[in-house]
Amino acid sequence: MLSSKSVPSVFGIAALAIMGSACGGGVATPPPEPFSGDVSTVLTIEIQNQQLEDARVYLIVDGQRERLGSLRGNQTKTFYHPMDGIRSVHMEFDITLGPRCVSRDVMLGPGDDVATRIPAMLVAFNGICR
């Protein structure tokens, strides 16, 4: 389920995943300066992994794919990605010992907040899993 505070829920998917730095690589983009309150230059994404398996997560912005990190099974994490304007964005996650799933495109930009989850049952995923 995807919800947004500043963008309509247009992904139409029940699961996605992205960014973060955890074991196995990837460099996390640091959050905005503490206490500044300025999130106007970043896309904020909170992901809840309901799978028992870990998931590698990627963000594809205007066709450029970036490895953002990993999420452990049953972990929730918030990630930040710098954005300089409204861009075509979709997300990809690769579940350990499972499929690789890609969401549909949506237009997102700086200051947007997105909350999403990787469901325990991937049959609910409204994207492509292989």
Q: Is the pLDDT of residue 71 over 90?
A: yes
Residue 31 per-residue DSSP state: P
The per-residue pLDDT for 117 is 85
At residue 122, the 3 state secondary structure works out as helix
In this predicted model, what pLDDT tens digit does every residue of 7-43 receive, in sequence order? 433 333 333 333 333 333 444 555 555 556 666 789 9
Q: Which residue has the tokens 């690789």?
A: 100
Mean pLDDT of 83-100: 93
What's the whole-model pTM score?
0.70
- Mention every residue, 6+ apart, whose C-beta is less than 8 A from residue 30: 80
3-122 maps to which CATH number? 2.60.40.2890
Per-domain residue ranges of the chain: 3-122
Token pair of 78 as six digits: 């918030």
Between CA 113 and CA 108 the distance in angstroms is 9
